[in-house]
Structure 1
Amino acid sequence: MILFLHLQLPTKILLLSTIFISHTLWLVDGYVILDQSKCPLGWRAAADQCVRLELAAHTHDGAMEECAIQGAELVNIVKSSQIDQTLLVDLNDIVHEAEQNGLAEKVWLVGGLQDALADPQLAYDLWLTTNRIMEKRSVERKVLALERRVGNDELEITSVPADGRHFYICGLLPLTRRRLLYEETFLPKGVPTFLEEPSASYSYINRPDGHFITIPCRAEGIPQPTIKWFQSGVEQVNLDTNNSSFVISGGSLLIPVGKTIDNDVMTFHCTATNELGTIRSSSTIIRPAFIEPFSHNRLDAYPLSARGAGSKLECQAPPHHPSKLQFL
């Protein structure tokens, strides 16, 4: 979609403004031509929407409030009185990408329930397939969510209690999307832009000293941006203290993984700053790969199957991230 915005600017001011306008905006006879097929920085395209995975657990109402702060809503999976299958496919790919990087969340809050209730047939279909989400006699209020069930590669529409805390997916409102795209076109040349950002999550296994988790963060700009790292959302990673064990190399943060590391979940994000501004990456979660310790007791013998059929050796691994494990 192309959006035309008329600029009521004097000719001299208009010409001066074009010096700093990026390639995504054109001026024709005083009109701004804005390409709305793109998503603003920090948002991913899914069908005709711009979405973002939010890696902080909230109730349904809390998630709606957090999305609203960003000029968004819980991503609406209903379009033209039908489930938007194209959107579901794209959301599945985005969530799967996060899972490949170690994110183990299986349930994501989404929106569209009110639109579904407005269509009797769609409401009935959801009533059959989502644990009777429309059950009026139910004391417990339920809301829509997407769930990755065991043994299924596709996200399925389900229902969860409204007061349950889950990760969620925000979708930009059209007006916010246009505003952000419009503002980005006036960013001066040379502002920081990310070349590589941290993945959604990383998992570690305690190893001998000298091993590190490497979290990438690279940016470009004129002048070259300075990379800084922050822990827990606000606390800057300080490399100058005597007890600091973090290392920054080429913008990447190296986190030591030794036998003494605490088995805690940590969050980090990076910023890139030059004289033209600062950009912030998405937060990444660092957590232990194994949720529980290995069992001290091992099977010392395994039954041998019939000749040529082989034997099954149980790995006996405790719960871990990511959920899939290859036994060698």
Structure 2
Amino acid sequence: MTGTRIKWTNRGRPTVAAVGLCAGALLLACSTNDTTGAGGSGGTSGGGGQGGSAGTTATGGAGQGGAPVFHPGVLVDDGLVARYYLDEAASGQDPTEVLDAAPEPLPLPLTYVNIGVDENMTYTEDSAGNRGLAFVAAGHDDRASVAIDGTKILASLHGGHTATYEVVANVLGVSSSISRLSHIGIESGHNLSLEANSLTRVLVSMNEHGVGGVPVDLPNIGRVVIHAVIDTSQTEPADRVRTYVNGGKLPIVVGTPPLLNEAIDLGLGRHYVIGNREIGERTIAGAIYYSAIYSTALTDEQVLQNVALLLVDDDTPTDDAPP
């Protein structure tokens, strides 16, 4: 599959992304803006070219007259609940909140520890111009968080059977007590959480249980796009949790899948937190560049579409981007 976009922001970064999607354990930017419909090799279903249909095998499709899989330049919004580009400030700055780009925006107040003096969390902008929240060390209290009672997050996810977390991060260190990337919980609970307890494993938790852990060589991947997809309506237990790293679906090696049609139970008194839990002590070392929540289970094709865009640029894709 191939998607091409040209993006300008008001920070003056023209970006051309021509990404051939190869759904293996690590998807890399490759290929050209070819529209003949050749699919990826060695992965899941290949995509049709312009006017073609999606292929049904890893060799891809080249059909005529079908709808293209990708909509170049557009992130999937199917079931979007909240989207945080984490680009409110440049390196070394400390704004007061993280902005939500989704409808009915729900900003996240920022909690800094020792702000201005040996601070652990601050905004960063990498050499490619991607902005995010940087954490100096794992296991600290800094966070972006909000209570979700009465909010769209609780209304959209509680009692449902599907959800997707989408995160762009560069994880260099974690707490052995389980660092959080994108998290809903109360105190030490894990109602719905994307997390890591080592530099070789990403975990998904739901309803206080580990439901899927996958092997990932986090420090050697660098900036990476991670998806955790839950769909408890799936008949096969192995299909109820899917975890992707840069678009490649990875095998689950630890955890017990949710029960058939098990509902997501968020309860009351919970917080949504980026980079921690509400009571702290669970930061990563590294940076989180982007975080989004969906009430739907994104498909393989939707995951690949967003990965193609986010790998190139995870900041606000309009002229309304922060200066």
TM-score, scaled to structure 1: 0.21
Q: Higher helix share goes to which structure? A: 1
Q: Which has the higher contact order (CA 8 A, sep 6+)?
A: 2
TM-score, scaled to structure 2: 0.21
The structure that has the greater radius of gyration is 1
